Chains A and B, each alone.
Chain A
Amino acid sequence: DGGITQSPKYLFRKEGQNVTLSCEQNLNHDAMYWYRQDPGQGLRLIYYSQIVNDFQKGDIAEGYSVSREKKESFPLTVTSAQKNPTAFYLCASSMLSGEDYESQPQHFGDGTRLSIL
């Protein structure tokens, strides 16, 4: 079945450590996204990518980095500069809108929960 796979499901980070969250999709979608969700809150956009080797900052990109070397993969690195990394991280993908401007639904993975040791 097609879908988005995030790994690991749970991740722990030590002080001063960088950690990388994996996101893989087999939906042949061009666009991919990373969101952060804090308890009881909505989703906030960290980074997004429309095409391989290109990505854009979202609303809360500081302390995070991404790469898009392959269409299927969009890993997120939480760097030591992110002072409050404890959160639920969600990856999504979608088709790009066509000339009719119709918004394309985003398909989400099941998330990675990151905690600080």
Chain B
Amino acid sequence: LAKTTQPISMDSYEGQEVNITCSHNNIATNDYITWYQQFPSQGPRFIIQGYKTKVTNEVASLFIPADRKSSTLSLPRVSLSDTAVYYCLVGGYNFNKFYFGSGTKLNVKP
């Protein structure tokens, strides 16, 4: 089971770019890297997913180095509404391999 390690918390200010790095040293060949966002008393929401190199969508970018042992979620120009917990998961075909760690609590300040 590929476990992940993330910082417990991060602080940022509105308008800044935020980068959250996740370590997953024992990622398997078929595993994808997926990031979720969770607000209090709500279910997690899918943000972005990638396998290698860089993936970008309308809300975030995901950078994955060649060895795939880590990944970085990049949130451009955060706002107060981006204050949430962000989870990094690795898993793939066998979805039961998903592991939700404690996530990174991002606090965006005005």
Contacts and interface: CB of A to CB of B under 8 A. Distances in A.
B41 A103 contact: no
B45 interface: yes
B93 A41 contact: no
B96 interface: yes
A90 interface: yes
Contact of A102 (B32, B41, B101): B32
B49 A43 contact: no
Contact of B41 (A44, A108, A111): A111
A107 B46 CA distance: 7
How large, as a class, is the contact surface on chain B?
20 to 34
A56 interface: yes
Given A108-B43, A111-B41, 20 more contacts: A35-B100, A40-B102, A42-B102, A42-B103, A48-B95, A56-B96, A96-B95, A97-B93, A102-B32, A103-B31, A103-B49, A104-B95, A106-B46, A106-B95, A106-B98, A109-B43, A110-B41, A110-B42, A111-B43, A113-B41
24 contacts: A31-B95, A41-B102, A42-B100, A44-B100, A48-B95, A48-B96, A56-B96, A58-B96, A97-B92, A97-B93, A101-B30, A101-B93, A102-B32, A102-B92, A103-B32, A103-B34, A103-B93, A103-B95, A106-B46, A106-B95, A107-B46, A108-B44, A109-B43, A111-B41
